[in-house]
Structure 1
Amino acid sequence: MKNKKLIFTAGFALFAMFFGAGNLIFPPTIGFQNGDKWFYAMLGFMVTGVCFPILGTLASAKAGGTIQNLCKPLGKHFPNIYGALITLSIGPLLAIPRTAATTHEMSVVPIFGNINPFITSIIFFSITLYFVLSPSGVIDKIGNILTPLLLVILLTMLVKSIVSPIGPAINTGLTENIKNGFVGGYQTMDALGSVVMAVVVVNGLKSHGITDKKELYKTCKGVGLVALVGLAIVYGGFVYIGSTAGTIASPDVSRVELLNLIAKNLLGNLGSIVLGLAVMLACLTTSIGLTATFGEFFSETFEGKVSYKTLVIICVAFSCIMSVLGVETIVAIAVPLLTIFYPMTLNLIIISFFDKYLNKGFYVGSLSFTLLWGIIEALETIKKPVTKILGERLGAMFVEISAVSNEFLKKFPLASTGFGWLIPAILLGIIGLFIYKSKKTESFETV
């Protein structure tokens, strides 16, 4: 394949854009919670945290690089609405602010003390803005400058954990380990981000002169493979590291505290500094990638009426304000939104590879079910705030409805693996396919 250096540069950049705040704090927690069953939890995490993000990037690239093309069978308006909700969720509402909040809590406070988080955010997003103002250079700047530094630090921690483990992995008593890892992968937001983030990779490759559609998609597959290998090694390693921390942390330890404890036990007094640098680089690369994605998506959606530069400035300004909420608060807000959108997004990624054989009816039937599935699952995640709002009597009714609904979902095949929606979604899709059989949907342009 031509231009192997570009493939590795873009692959490292894609890895770094995915590997941000959530990707650093969640894998150790998954390992810690599942203890000696960490390997099974890791398998589940790999599905939603590695495979689907890469598949989502390739699906979007195959369709032309935009979510509008990916959702083409669903008409004109749905792709824009769905894409906007996803881009806002992985952008200034949740994921981008989380990168700055994590940097403050894990990089700044341990080294410089408890300074105002707003100061951290201003500096952090000023650096982000510098990197994203020129969209054509985002891939090169991340892949050639930031990612190599990040990988050296992460691999140092992984090697140390293998040579000198913190302790033995203990039995935590947690069951459904594969599903725990599967659902835990939602928190990375990567599968959601992949379907809109592909535009940054595609445009980056185009800026290097790769414009032929077949060559572009072939190059994207090489880029995806590089990112997949990197993510699998780092994720697997950090899930393992978390499983060895059962003897040094209490069960109720926070994600941030757990990672700090791990770093100190592995690297001694330098642990906080090394971890802080890794967190800063990981969060910065993701912030840059997501901010560029926000600018690319909405400049395309608004058909150039609002410039890319104006959009990224708005994005970093809003993210700066949101970031002062702190990591745990932002994570708590993210959970219900992710629970709603993730099954539908995973389903969209899967069926997009079979678009030539499907029509609008299949898409509507299948995706509608997974949207409903996500809404029902989300009831469980919002029962505490909802019960406070509704009061004791109505709140108790809501909790009961939530419990019964989620218990019903557990009866579906594959529910224990996180894929309980898959078989019903296929069946409803087939029903929709025959209903709309006379209305064949134009398939994606195959590259």
Structure 2
Amino acid sequence: MREKNKSMIDIAVIGLALFAMFFGAGNLIFPPYLGTNAGSDWFTGFICFFIADVGLALVAILAMIKTGDVSMNGITGKLGKVPSVIINSLIVLCIGPFLAIPRTAATTFEMGVMPMFPFINSWVFGAIFFGLVLLFTIRPSGVVDVIGKFLTPALVICLLALIVIGYLNPIGEIATTTHFDTVKEGIMAGYQTMDVLASIVFVIIIISAAKSKGYTETKETMNVVIKSSLFSAVALFIIYGGLAFLGATTSAGGFEGYNQTALVVAITQTLIGDYGVLVLAIIVFFACLTTAIGLVSSCASFFEDLTKGKISYRTMVLVTVGFSYIVSNFGISTIISIAAPILTLLYPVVLVMIILTFFGKHIKNNNIFIGAALFALFASAADVLLGYGLPFDFIRSMPFGAYQCGWVVPAIVGGVIGKFIPMSQKAILATKKGNSDVA
């Protein structure tokens, strides 16, 4: 019984840590905005958001577990060693020091600090923020416990308090809205969180945490990872649903013209009054801090493994934190504009590999993976170039193009073409070796 209780506690701690690492500022602002625009259809929008965000992230984690290689190579390895290293490195850099980590500090500063302390500049705040991140990540074994036992409960309590207040004292009636494509916007919001990319990086920390708690056998390690992931998904379902409901209670009017960030501020001020800005600052601070901690630790662990220990975990933490601190002072808009094209290129390729890897046991020819990923890359490149004014309008006319998923059909075509291209003898031997290693 004592071992069973320990296992449940460990699953809860790891699950809460995973919840907090996923739940950044972007996850806070999308559900309320969906709710206020969808009105009476808020639950539909929330479900679409949840599937495109958490649902795909869970599929990514389960796909890695099914391969027996719970690492980023478990997803991209079928593309070959060099392409896999390049893609994995770009993913880690983009959701690490190039974009996501600096964005956590910049968002906290602009949403939580500036409204209350306008005399503090971003360099001073960034030094405090990243000082805390450094403190919590410098020891890899302590990251999950710090987040799961201490920081996440504070975040969850603040969020639940806001949701309960909004449920007991709704801001207004939930109205029926028009001219809002609820399904499309829900999917797009989930897509924009980029949590699918984060999931294949966060799993590095989760596996390490499970092993550090004594789950060293492969089967029990995977069991803890699966249960922790499901625990996290349930927690996210409750919080996302509550935030979408809060947004829906503003749909009757009076909140027109607000963007995602301003809407969250307006909701908290309406529900809590003068203390709303303070509560929001606390929520944003904990949401962004926990996400930054998870990303820094994952980034450092990835490059330590990639260099086979030639660059230590601590060195990578210092480099990642220092670089992220500098970039965070560029401001949110600049950060997003720099990294958005790279993410647009990578995201479809990773999604294709996740989906195919999930059914990997039924795919005997690696050229299916390569063909599908290559065609998805070409399509996403066309989408990026269209944004720079080049004549690639056809990509938006493709099926699912309105959802920024014009790469789906090209990926299917590429996979079909790859099926009819025989594998080389070298690739066949490598595949057999990989299967025997997993077995």
Taking structure 2 as the reference length, the TM-score comes to 0.90
* Aligned amino acid, residue 185 of structure 1: G
Matches of 1:418 and 1:371 in 2, distance apart?
A: 13
2:219 paired with 1:230: no
2:352 paired with 1:360: no
Q: Gapped runs of 5+ residues in structure 1?
A: 387-394
Q: Gapped runs of 5+ residues in structure 2?
A: none
After superposition, residues 274-293 of structure 1 pair within 5 angstroms as: 274-293=279-298
After superposition, residues 347-426 of structure 1 pair within 5 angstroms as: 347-358=352-363, 359-379=365-385, 382=387, 386=388, 395=389, 398=390, 401-402=391-392, 404-409=393-398, 412=399, 421-422=407-408, 424-426=410-412
* CA shift digits 1:286-318 (9 cap, x unpaired): 000000011011111111111110111111111
2:8 paired with 1:4: yes
1:310 maps to which residue?
A: 315
Summarize the Cα distance change of 1:327–1:35 in structure 2 as closer, same or farther, 3 Å threshold. farther
* CA shift digits 1:357-390 (9 cap, x unpaired): 223111011112222332233345x3xxx3xxxx
Preserved contact between residue 61 and residue 198 of structure 1 (Cα < 8 Å): no
Percent identity over the alignment?
A: 39
3-state SS, counterpart of residue 192 of structure 1: helix
* Aligned amino acid, residue 205 of structure 1: A
* Aligned amino acid, residue 357 of structure 1: H
* Aligned amino acid, residue 302 of structure 1: T
3-state SS, counterpart of residue 91 of structure 1: coil
Question: 155-164 vs 171-180, which deviates more?
Answer: 171-180
* CA shift digits 1:84-111 (9 cap, x unpaired): 1110110111111111111112222233
Preserved contact between residue 98 and residue 327 of structure 1 (Cα < 8 Å): yes
The one of 169, 172, 181 equivalent to 1:176 is 181
1:433 maps to which residue?
A: 419
2:26 paired with 1:22: yes
Matches of 2:384 and 2:176 in 1, distance apart?
A: 29
Number of equivalenced pairs: 426
1:301 maps to which residue?
A: 306
After superposition, residues 314-333 of structure 1 pair within 5 angstroms as: 314-333=319-338
1:391 maps to which residue?
A: none
Matches of 2:245 and 2:385 in 1, distance apart?
A: 31
Matches of 1:150 and 1:83 in 2, distance apart?
A: 30
The one of 180, 188, 198 equivalent to 2:203 is 198
1:138 maps to which residue?
A: 143
* CA shift digits 1:149-179 (9 cap, x unpaired): 1111111111222222222344554443212
* Aligned amino acid, residue 406 of structure 1: I
1:274 to partner: Cα distance: 1.0
1:406 to partner: Cα distance: 3.5
Matches of 2:296 and 2:146 in 1, distance apart?
A: 14
* Aligned amino acid, residue 58 of structure 2: I
Summarize the Cα distance change of 1:242–1:216 in structure 2 as closer, same or farther, 3 Å threshold. same
Matches of 1:69 and 1:350 in 2, distance apart?
A: 12
Taking structure 1 as the reference length, the TM-score comes to 0.88
* Aligned amino acid, residue 183 of structure 1: M
* Aligned amino acid, residue 52 of structure 2: T
1:48 maps to which residue?
A: 52
2:213 maps to which residue?
A: 208
Preserved contact between residue 36 and residue 243 of structure 1 (Cα < 8 Å): yes
Summarize the Cα distance change of 1:114–1:49 in structure 2 as closer, same or farther, 3 Å threshold. farther
2:178 paired with 1:167: no
Preserved contact between residue 344 and residue 371 of structure 1 (Cα < 8 Å): yes
Preserved contact between residue 396 and residue 404 of structure 2 (Cα < 8 Å): no
2:153 paired with 1:148: yes
Calculate the aligned-residue CA RMSD, in Å.
2.3
Summarize the Cα distance change of 1:429–1:183 in structure 2 as closer, same or farther, 3 Å threshold. same
Summarize the Cα distance change of 1:262–1:331 in structure 2 as closer, same or farther, 3 Å threshold. farther
* CA shift digits 1:234-276 (9 cap, x unpaired): 112222322333423333x333222111110111111111111
Summarize the Cα distance change of 1:328–1:263 in structure 2 as closer, same or farther, 3 Å threshold. farther
1:61 to partner: Cα distance: 4.4
